[in-house]
Amino acid sequence: FQNILEVISAKEDELGKLDAVAGDGDHGIGMVRGLKAAHKTVQDANTMSPSQLISDAGASFSDAAGGSSGALVGILMITTGNKLQDDNMDTAHVAQALELGLTRMCKLGKSGPGQKTMIDTLDPFITSLKTFANKSLSDGWQAALPAAEDGMNATATMTSQKGRAAKLGERSKGHKDPGAVSMIYMLETVGEELKSA
Ligand code: ADP
Ligand code: MG
C-alpha cells in the first residue's frame, strides 16, 4: 500500500499524453508535476503509515500540480488519508474514507456527478466499492473498477459544466473528460498495487 504513489509515477507519461484532449491542455503536465512531488514525499517520508503517507502525498500533490485538478485531487488524497486508519483498511472503511474525500472535493469544486469531470469516474467507483464490503480490499477494488470505467466513458457524451472546458459548451461533447481519464488510471494503478500488497 505504501508504494501506491511510486506505481502511479510510472504512469506519468501516459497521463501526460491525455493532456491535449480538452481545456487548456495542462492537465497532463499538472498531474505529472503533482505525482512527482507526491512520489518524492513518499520516498523521503519518515513514516510507514499508509494513511499518513496518503495525506502527506496529497498536500505535496496539491502544491506542485496547481490548477483545478491539483486542488481537487489534493483535497481528495488529504481527506481520505486523514480519515483512513492504518489498522482498519478493509473495503468498507476505505470506501467510507474515499466518500468523505469525494464530498470535500465536490464542496471545493462546487460540483457533482454528471458535469463531465473526474467526479464521474470517482463517484460510481465509490458507490460500487461500498457494495463489495464483503470482499477483500483488493478484490473489492477490482470489482468496482468497471463502474468507474463506465462513468469515465460516459463523460464523452456529457457537456462540460465545470472548469475551463465548460467554455466549450456543446463542443465538449464527443471527447472524454481528461480528469475523468486520469482518475481511472489512478484507480487502476492503485488496484494493481493492492494486488501485490
Ligand atoms: P485547469 O482547469 O485549472 O487547467 P486541469 O487542466 O489540471 O485544471 O484539470 C482539468 C480537470 O479538472 C477537468 O478535466 C475536470 O475533470 C476537473 N475539474 C475542473 N473543474 C472541476 C470542478 N469544479 N469539479 C470537479 N472537477 C473539476
Ligand atoms: Mg487545464
**Per-10-residue mean pLDDT for the chain, 197 residues long?**
56 58 73 88 87 94 93 97 93 97 98 96 98 97 98 94 82 84 91 86
Asked if residues 158 and 173 have their Cβ atoms less than 8 Å apart, the reply is yes
Q: What is the pLDDT of residue 1?
A: 40
Q: What is the pLDDT of residue 94?
A: 96
Residues with CB under 6 A from ligand 1: 23-24, 26-27, 30, 67-69, 72, 109, 111, 117-119, 162-164, 177-180
Q: What is the pLDDT of residue 143?
A: 98
Of 190, 151, 171, nearest in space to 9 by CA: 190
Residue whose CA lies nearest to ligand 1 atom number 20:
163
Q: What is the pLDDT of residue 166?
A: 83
Show the CA angle centred on residue 35, arms to residues 39 and 85, nearest 5°.
Answer: 65
Show the CA angle centred on residue 164, arms to residues 29 and 187, nearest 5°.
Answer: 50
The alpha carbon of 116 and the centre of ligand 2 are apart by a number of angstroms equal to 14
The alpha carbon of 52 and the centre of ligand 2 are apart by a number of angstroms equal to 28
pTM, to two decimals: 0.92
